[in-house]
Amino acid sequence: MTSQPSIVSFRDVRKHFVPRGSMFGKAPRVRAVDGVTFSIARGRVLGIAGESGSGKSTLANLLVGLERATSGEIEVDGQVMTATPDRGLRRAVQMVFQDPFASLNPRFTVARSVEEPLLIHGLGTTVERRTQAIAALEKAELRPGLAFMSRYPHELSGGQRQRVAIARAVILNPKLLVADEPVSMLDVSVRAGILRLLRRLVTEQHMAMVFITHDLSIVAHICDELAVMYRGRIVEKGPVRDVLRTPAHPYTQALIDAVPIPDPAAVVRDLPAKLLAGFGDAPAALGCPFAPRCIHAVPQCEASDPPQSSVAPSHLTACIRALELRRAAQ
Amino acid sequence: MSDASSALPHAPAFDGRIRARTRSIVDFLKIAFESWSGAFGISILALIVVVAAFSPWITPYDPIANHFNAAGQLKRLEPPSAAHWLGTTYYGLDVLSQLIDGSRIVLIVGITCASFIAIIGTNVGLIAGYCGGRVDAVLMRITGLAFGIPFIPFAVVLVALLGPSLWNMILTISLLMWRTTARVIRSQVLSLRERAFVKAAKIAGASDVRIIYVHIFPNVLPMTLLYVAFDIAWAVLAEASISFLGFGDPNQVSWGQMLYLAYVSGSIRQAWWWTIPPGLGLSLFVISVFLVGRQYEKLASPRLR
Amino acid sequence: MPLFELDDVSIAYHTRDSAVFAVNRVSLGLEAGTALGLVGESGCGKSTLALATLGLLPRFANVWHGAIRFEGQVISQMADADLMTLRWRRMAYVPQSALASLVPVHSIRRQFRDTAAAHGMRAAEADRRAAELFRRVELDPIVLDRFPHELSGGMRQRAIIALALLFKPPLLVADEPTTGLDVIVQRQIVNLLTNLRRTEALSLLFISHDIGVVAELCDRIAVLYAGEVMEEGPTLEVLANPSHPYTMGLARSFPDVRAPDRPLVSIPGHPPRLSEVSQGCPFATRCPFVRDLCRTDKPRKSGVGRDRSVACHFADEAPRMAEIATRPGIWEEGGAAA
């Protein structure tokens, strides 16, 4: 897809949890991430969209080395991600969290929080660290940086806290930034600013970003590529505008149809009953995980795992009827 | 254009701080004075501290000197008089001097024990709460053991083995009483370790030790200090109990020991001037610590919703 | 006469030494059979208003000024005992977090019965209504005997809506009922509320920060900022032709999944804290069209057309401002303070 070498690659990664305290008999393993493959190049943003239970949080944890994959390979910056990532990997991958308040230590000043990664890795003298911290804050559009250094998180607004968290994340010049729903807890009127900031940093710092969200409406404003996850698998992946305009997977289509339209004059499409029922059932061991809720499902769907097939250049989907449905729609 | 009548009734300025931040000692003390109970508590504590600090200079007599009357007889059990404001003990000692001198023990035992308890309890709580798994299980077993052992019999046995001295008492008290702090700190750590800022530190590469002591500890510190306050009171009561049973340090004057001697000499019923002062002293001290502690506890919960 | 009315209402929160106004002279009306959406960001006072309508303000808050009226009666100064006869029977409340408002150790059926008993309905009748309402919200009646933690977020929310409709109240106050839910579940709830409005002749006071949901559900919209109403009117008109700069900015901050290329706007600065009292228009610090008058004088409410109103000194220049507001550059600021 891109001629640039990828900085992150996931190959058939799986993360299964065995619920603790399962007594007699086999408790079904929770397949949080079930065979995910993708790669990202520097300067590019991959969006991971999914609802609760899709496995996107586990994916985030795998990316930053907080969880170890059950099987499959994770490579970041040429190194394989292991259970205990070494210092080099720790500097290469950073994360921005959903809750800006919880992601900052309430007892630390802004200066202390932003300098902490430098302290952990023993970089720079006291003066150098301070200078770098101020520079990082200004990069995050908190100007003048000096004025923010001695403030505490509870004195800042949500948007400002998130910028501090972003400054902290980029101060080590990471190669990969994982943003886990970074704007969903912010007021709507400040979201666009944060999204633009992240996009700008991706370009300026020449890093890759994985942008995790449940809100399909913002992905087009920050992502180059979009992957839609359902029950631990990527069901569709492709250039963001292609996926949004001409979704190939029935689940993606359902997600797009479900989004409320800010235009009162628009006509709302009703969701099929089959989609709404069957929610929360444990997925079958074999076959497409979406089949029980899919209006286009045929017996073949539940018989075997659907392979990733191409519906357009760089646009993949895990649906055996994708091409057929697309042709029928035209 | 705007209408003058649309102006709001003037809302007084609000300083914007929902939770009082104690950046200076003055702020710290101001909080105690916010209610009558807190003011009372801190006044009593301040009084005891001053008395204990200056006791060598303010005792009217040597606390362990026997007093004789003109006829050469021991001034036993004399009720309060001009010469002895709180009367004398069965052994002819001035009660007031003993009372003043005994306040030193209150402070020494209180502060030393509370410090040890804080150090042991906080560390156990931090490590057990953060590490989880087997480490947690082992530490909690030990804590459970500490809860299970009854304090007085344990103290008696230890004192019998090691001999009655002030340090052995401090040791005894500290060895058992860290248990509550450990449990409380552990439950705080259990919830703190799931917070995003801990995750952020981990991702940045912080070691577990660093996370526990640099990131989590400052957040449990307020709770530690609060329990330190209560532990001071408990430690003092513990010492008084041990002394009252006769296992205290015979070379140290303490309020518990005063009560013990009053009991042992059979004068506990009649010599109210000998028993009430130390008893009242202990009660007031404990009440004051609790009252002041309660004021600071309110800091932990936000005032406005 | 409107079913529900806020008449020049100000609500204050009292601290030890001062008072803070969460709602500042708000006047709104809701006609029977319609839905009014209250839209705003943090600190705009919408949740406070929701609590106040049912007399659920905490002890240290009160309606300082003005009157809240329901079916003509003033309820803002009513005694709690009298309010009890209105709550649930005539006005019901659907809160944001169903999990927080359901008793975790009681089955759903028990909660129906308890609520019913508190307002004078017998257990047998409560059971009958519960089953009927569950069907209406598309929940299997078997769920009645489950516990809250056994239900998914969407199911809990539907259960809460069913519970709210126990006495067929004419007014439902919903405070962010879809926030935090997955998008498909949210769509379910929104469709459900639309249907219920039709079949139960329900009036709805819908509070949300999500303009998209409000646009679908509500006939009229009121845009709140820092405790004051910036603009109010039929949803279609207000969103298509906003008269207030804040509405212009806010509407453009909402991305449309169907129009991914439409540029997104971010209003510089951040919504003010409750403690920051402003002399003039509260939006002055962030408004791209601000002039000196805005900072010193509070704008008065003025009518726009037949049934709209706006609080802006320069409301008559709205069409021109709206046109300029479509250019994303106008909302940018070097060195954002947010």
pLDDT at C9 over 70: yes
pLDDT at B18 over 60: no
What per-residue confidence (pLDDT) applies to C206?
Answer: 94
Residue B30's CB: how many other CB atoms inside 10 A? 12
The residue of chain B with its CA nearest to that of A87 is B205
Per DSSP, what are the bridge partners of residue C69? C5, C74
pLDDT at B261 over 80: yes
What per-residue confidence (pLDDT) applies to A162?
Answer: 96
Residues near A21 by beta carbon (within 8 Å), at least 6 away in sequence = none
3-state secondary structure of A136: helix
Sign of torsion over alpha carbons A230, A234, A240, A246: negative
pLDDT at A257 over 80: yes
What per-residue confidence (pLDDT) applies to A325?
Answer: 82
pLDDT at C38 over 90: yes
Task: For residue B59, give the nearest of B109, B106, B94, B110 by alpha carbon.
Answer: B94
Helices (H), B132-165: 133-148, 151-162
Per-residue 3-state assignment (H helix, E strand, C coil) for B228-240: HHHHHHHHHHHHH
The structure tokens listed for A121 are 């890795």
Burial class (CB in 10 A: 0-12, 13-18, 19+), B56: exposed
- Enumerate neighbours of C (3 or more CB pairs within 8 A): A, B
Q: What is the Rg, in whole angstroms, of the alpha carbon atoms belonging to chain A? A: 21
Task: Identify the structural domains of chain B with CATH numbers, from first to last.
Answer: 27-60+84-300 (1.10.3720.10)
Which of B202, B203, B216 is the mutation pick for testing A, counting most A CBs within 10 A?
B203
Scanning A200-219 for CB atoms below 8 A from C yields: 214-219
What per-residue confidence (pLDDT) applies to C267?
Answer: 87
**Cis link prior to A100 (omega < 30° from 0)?**
no
pLDDT at B189 over 90: yes
Scanning C232-251 for CB atoms below 8 A from A yields: 235-236, 239-240, 249-251
How far apart CA C305 and CA C301 sit, in angstroms, is: 13
Mean pLDDT over A288-313 rounds to: 85
How far apart CA B100 and CA A62 sit, in angstroms, is: 65
CB-based contact, B4 to chain C, within 8 Å: no
- Residue with more model confidence, C338 or C294: C294
Q: What is the DSSP string of C35-69?
A: EEEEE--TTSSHHHHHHHHTT---TTEEEEEEEEE
- Residue with more model confidence, C286 or A88: C286
Local confidence band at B5 (pLDDT 50, 70, 90 cut-offs): very low
Residue with tokens 């001409």: A246
CB-based contact, A284 to chain C, within 8 Å: no
Q: List, for residues B278-289, the tens digit of each pLDDT value.
A: 999 999 999 998
C135 to chain B nearest CA, in Å?
38
The structure tokens listed for A231 are 């029950």
The structure tokens listed for A4 are 């640039």
Stretch among A128-137, C97-106, C328-337 having the lowest mean pLDDT = C328-337
Burial class (CB in 10 A: 0-12, 13-18, 19+), A326: middle
How far apart CA B186 and CA B206 sit, in angstroms, is: 21
Q: List, for residues C102-153, the tens digit of each pLDDT value.
A: 888 899 899 899 988 888 888 898 999 899 999 888 888 888 898 988 888 8
Which of A61, A87, A101, A107 is the mutation pick for testing B, counting most B CBs within 10 A?
A107
How far apart CA B56 and CA B59 sit, in angstroms, is: 6
pLDDT at C100 over 80: no
Scanning C246-285 for CB atoms below 8 A from A yields: 249-251, 253-258, 260-261, 264-268, 270-271
Helices (H), C165-228: 183-200, 211-217
How far apart CA C63 and CA B206 sit, in angstroms, is: 50
Please indicate, yes or no, whether the overall pTM of this predicted structure exceeds 0.90. no
Task: For residue C63, give the nearest of C332, A76, C74, C71 by alpha carbon.
Answer: C74
What per-residue confidence (pLDDT) applies to B2?
Answer: 32
From chain C, the residues in CB contact with B303 under 8 A are 15-16
- Residue with more model confidence, B207 or C98: B207
Residue with tokens 């078997």: C142
Q: List, for residues A87-111, the tens digit of each pLDDT value.
A: 788 889 999 999 998 999 999 999 9
What per-residue confidence (pLDDT) applies to C95?
Answer: 85
How far apart CA A108 and CA A110 sit, in angstroms, is: 6
Q: List, for residues B109-138, the tens digit of each pLDDT value.
A: 988 999 999 999 999 999 999 998 999 999
How far apart CA B96 and CA B109 sit, in angstroms, is: 20
Task: For residue A268, give the nearest of C5, C191, B92, C222 by alpha carbon.
Answer: C191
Burial class (CB in 10 A: 0-12, 13-18, 19+), B140: middle
Stretch among A185-189, A239-243, B32-36 having the lowest mean pLDDT = B32-36
Tell me the residue type at A144: P
From chain B, the residues in CB contact with A103 under 8 A are 196-197, 199-200
Q: Terminus-to-terminus CA distance in chain B, angstroms?
A: 38
Percent of chain B with pLDDT over 70: 87
Instruction: Among C16, C19, C300, select the one facing B11 at the smallest CB separation.
Output: C19
pLDDT at A124 over 90: no
Stretch among A100-104, B61-65, B94-98 having the lowest mean pLDDT = B61-65
Domain ranges within chain C, ordered by starting residue: 98-166, 231-331
Task: Identify the structural domains of chain A with CATH numbers, from first to last.
Answer: 6-245 (3.40.50.300), 252-330 (no CATH)
What per-residue confidence (pLDDT) applies to B14?
Answer: 25
How far apart CA B228 and CA B110 sit, in angstroms, is: 9
Q: List, for residues C20-30, the tens digit of each pLDDT value.
A: 888 989 999 99
On the CB side of C316, how many CA atoms lie within 13 Å of its CA? 1
* Residues B149 and B212 sit within 8 Å (Cβ to Cβ): no
Give whole-number Cα distances, A242 to A80, A222, A223, A313, in Å. Answer: 32, 14, 12, 10
* Residues C143 and C113 sit within 8 Å (Cβ to Cβ): no
> C239 vs A262: CB contact, 8 Å cut-off?
yes
The residue of chain C with its CA nearest to that of A190 is C266
pLDDT at B3 over 80: no
For B225-229, the CB contacts below 8 A with 24+ separation are B225/B118, B225/B296, B226/B293, B226/B296, B226/B297, B226/B300, B227/B117, B227/B118, B227/B121, B227/B180, B227/B181, B227/B184, B228/B114, B228/B115, B228/B117, B228/B118, B229/B114, B229/B289, B229/B292, B229/B293, B229/B296
Instruction: Among A51, A263, A265, select the one facing C184 at the smallest CB separation.
Output: A51
* Residues B189 and B130 sit within 8 Å (Cβ to Cβ): yes
Tell me the residue type at B117: I
Stretch among B162-171, B186-195, B295-304 having the lowest mean pLDDT = B295-304
What per-residue confidence (pLDDT) applies to B19?
Answer: 36
Average pLDDT for chain A = 87
The residue of chain C with its CA nearest to that of A144 is C335
Q: What stretch of H or E contains A178? A: strand A176-180
Residues in chain B: 305
B59 to chain C nearest CA, in Å?
44
Residue with tokens 């003011």: B39
Q: List, for residues B201-246, the tens digit of each pLDDT value.
A: 999 999 999 999 999 999 998 888 888 888 888 889 988 988 898 8
